[in-house]
Chain A
Amino acid sequence: MRTDKTATADEVVAELADGMTIGIGGWGSRRKPMALVRAILRSPVRDLTVVSYGGPDVGLLVAAGKVRRVVFGFVTLDTIPYDPWFGRARQEGSIEVTEYDEGMFAAALSAAAQRLPFLPTRAGLGSDVLRVNPRLRTVRSPYADGEELVAVPAQRLDVAFVHLNRADPHGNAQYLGPDPYFDDLFCLAATRRFVSVEKVVDTATLTEEGPVQSLLLNRSTVDAVVESPHGAHFTTAVPDYGRDERFQRHYAECAKDPGRWPEFADRFLAGDEKAYQHEVTRFTEESR
């Protein structure tokens, strides 16, 4: 019998320790493992280094005081350009950052996935990415061209959190939307790899809804599978659902106004995931 890796969000988050480096999959406000992020908000863990193509995952973790450093190329809500919590923390100087070009960020994960110390990229040359990251070094080609490129250091992760559409109980996992983002790289760069999915299905069912190329993760790169319907809310998880724009706007409005934030946090983030989803349903019904 292959190992059953199903677990709850609280069980996988219980493995976190203060000061860990965690990678969060998805992109901006797209297919973020938000239920796992909400489980981190409920946990006592602190001083995290968060590695993310940032969206509201970064904003919520900053809001809860969980973050010491963010490694990022951008933080955006897509339809709303800036995440208010990330912006405020930056402007108050309350978090540290490692700011990369988007391609450097991918190279850092690729280097870790391939167990290399660095990968060369052209991206970053001549920009302030090298000024604001004074530990970055360049590397010279040993060949006749002699080109000098940025040596992006490997970004190892203690833990990776990603959200996909389907998985079997053993960790074979599938995306059904148009873009895999970088979720396989996050898992390959990490020591412990946790995947939440909309639905856990039999292995045989995986290839019924999508082609074999949609099986992004195989079970050798996954340590636990969390079934979490609507677990990417309020980000997209197409084709299961799109972004909840109205809820995201509500999040951003409350995040902008420190006076309104407790109202949001008390209503949506004080309870467990079931309570969150229940309140989201009520919030949606209120607008009808």
Chain B
Amino acid sequence: MSGGEASRAEVAVVAVAELFRGDGDTLVSPMGLIPSLGAKLARLTFAPDLLLSDGEALLVTADGEVEGWQPFRKMLELIVPHGRRHVLMGANQIDRYGNQNISAIGDHAKPAKQLLGVRGAPGNTVNHRTSYWVPRHSRRVFVESVDVVSGVGYDNAAKVGYSARRFHDVYRVVTNLGVFDFATPDNRMRLLSAHPGVTVEQIRDATSFDVDTEGAGTSREPTADELRLIREVLDPEALREKEVPS
């Protein structure tokens, strides 16, 4: 342990990295800065076999060597349905069962705010492991019910039945405050660990629905080696501190 010297952003990078522990030769698709840093950190330390793209059509090793070709069409027609992938998406809204929205806020027919569209969220969530990253944990994001179900949550997968549940695996939510999963008997969101310095009360106040916080621990601090990799190799300009200010 390197003591209390890690910033909140650095704790978040390590919490993201931990999502991929044990994933092996799996394609990880992190969307956003801290997700990318976390995936790369995992690959440089305890998950060396992870496959990562350059954000476009090439698979690139940690040393920058091209090791594969993965154009969008292959992604949508083969890789996502085949399922050997773990995606880490953003979310404008998430509810207690892990339904996620990146499409639009308000009535879909005439939204108050048009966002991206559902993108690949429906396909991702019914085909392979999916996690979410939320840089600003708030009641606006963690809502009673999402306006447009883009990423499928546990209740909606169960309603449809076998074909939706078969490969459905909403694994974790990492935020600037803590790490959550849905491993309760009724698949409601549960606090796994609060980041160092964050109280359970803070998390409850920032979440519109009741979160199960029983048995929650504290997110681990980065090791000295992890801090060095984050600060000197992966993000020397400290852009992470802008995404999650301490």
A73 at the interface (CB under 8 A from B): yes
Q: How far is the CA of A180 from the CA of B57 in the complex (A)?
A: 9
A178 CB contacts on chain B under 8 angstroms: 56-58, 69, 71
| A127 nearest CB neighbor, chain B only | B122
User: Which of B69, B76, B103, B157 is packed against the most chain A CB atoms within 10 Å?
Assistant: B76
> Contacting A147 at CB < 8 Å: which of B123, B125, B152, B162?
B162
Min CB distance, A15 to chain B, in Å?
Answer: 27
Is B229 positioned at the interface, with any CB of A under 8 Å from its CB?
Answer: no
The answer to whether B58 and A127 touch across the interface, beta carbons within 8 angstroms, is no
A204 to B221, CA, bound (A): 61
In the complex, the chain A residue whose C-beta lies closest to that of B151 is A127
Q: Are A179 and B57 in contact (CB under 8 A)?
A: yes
Q: Which A residues are in CB contact (< 8 Å) with B115?
A: 82
B242: CB under 8 A from chain A?
no
Contact A125 B152, CB 8 Å, known A76-B116, A101-B120, A104-B123: yes
Interface size bracket, A side: 35 or more
Select the stretch in B17-25, B104-112, B173-181, B192-200 that faces chain A. B104-112
Q: Is the CB of A101 within 8 A of B163?
A: no
Q: What is the CB-to-nearest-CB distance from B79 to chain A, in angstroms, rounded to a whole number?
A: 10
- A173 close to B (CB within 8 Å): no
> In the bound complex, do residue B57 and residue A126 qualify as a contact, i.e. CB atoms below 8 Å apart?
no
Q: In the complex where A91-B114, A126-B164, A148-B161 touch, is A74 in contact with B119 (Cβ < 8 A)?
A: yes
Contact with B along A57-74 (1 / 0, CB 8 A): 000000000000000111
Kindly state whether residue B211 has any CB partner on chain A within 8 Å: no
| Interface presence of A102 (CB below 8 A) | yes
In the complex, whether A100 has a CB less than 8 A from a CB of chain B is yes
> Is there contact, CB below 8 Å, between A103 and B116?
no
CA of A181 to CA of B36, assembled, Å? 23
Cβ distance A252 to chain B, nearest Cβ, rounded Å: 14
Q: A270 at interface (Cβ–Cβ under 8 A)? A: no
Smallest Cβ-Cβ distance to B76: which chain A residue: A103
Please give, as numbers and ranges, the residues of chain B lying within 8 Å of A125 by CB-CB distance: 122, 126, 152, 157, 160, 163-164
B125 to chain A, nearest CB (A): 8
How far, in Å, is A181 (CB) from chain B's closest CB?
6
Which residues of B163-196 are within 8 A (CB) of A? 163-164, 166-168
Q: Is the CB of B122 within 8 A of A101?
A: yes
Once A147-B163, A179-B56 are accepted as A-B contacts, the answer to whether A129 and B118 lie under 8 Å apart by CB is yes
Q: Does B77 contact A (CB under 8 A)?
A: yes
Distance (whole angstroms) from the CB of B167 to the closest CB of chain A: 8
B117–A73 touching, CB < 8 Å? yes
Q: Would you list which residues of chain B between 119 and 155 have a CB under 8 Å from chain A?
A: 119-123, 125-127, 148-152
* Chain A residue with Cβ nearest B152: A126
Cα separation A211 to B102 with both chains bound (whole Å): 39
| Complex: A128 Cα to B99 Cα, angstroms | 10
Instruction: Decide if A91 touches B111 in the complex (CB within 8 Å).
Output: yes
Given contacts A90-B111, A91-B110, A125-B152, contact A99 B103 (CB under 8 A): yes
Stretch in contact with the other chain, from A38-46, A116-124, A220-228: A116-124
Q: Choose one: B112, B152, B160; the contact of A91 (CB below 8 Å).
A: B112
Residues of B within 8 A of A132 (CB): 108-109, 148
Q: Given A123-B127, A126-B126, verify A103-B120 contact (CB < 8 Å).
A: yes
Q: Does A234 contact B (CB under 8 A)?
A: no
Q: Which residues of B contact A239 (CB under 8 A)?
A: none
Task: Decide yes or no whether A27 CB sits under 8 A from chain B.
Answer: yes
16 contacts between A and B (CB under 8 A): A54-B117, A74-B116, A87-B114, A91-B113, A91-B114, A92-B110, A103-B76, A122-B167, A125-B122, A125-B160, A126-B122, A126-B159, A147-B162, A178-B58, A181-B72, A182-B72
Q: Which residues of B contact A (CB under 8 A)?
A: 56-58, 69, 71-73, 76-77, 80-81, 103-104, 108-123, 125-127, 148-152, 156-157, 159-164, 166-168
Given contacts A91-B110, A179-B57, 13 further A-B contacts (CB under 8 A): A72-B117, A74-B119, A76-B116, A87-B114, A92-B110, A99-B117, A102-B76, A122-B164, A122-B167, A129-B118, A129-B122, A132-B109, A181-B71
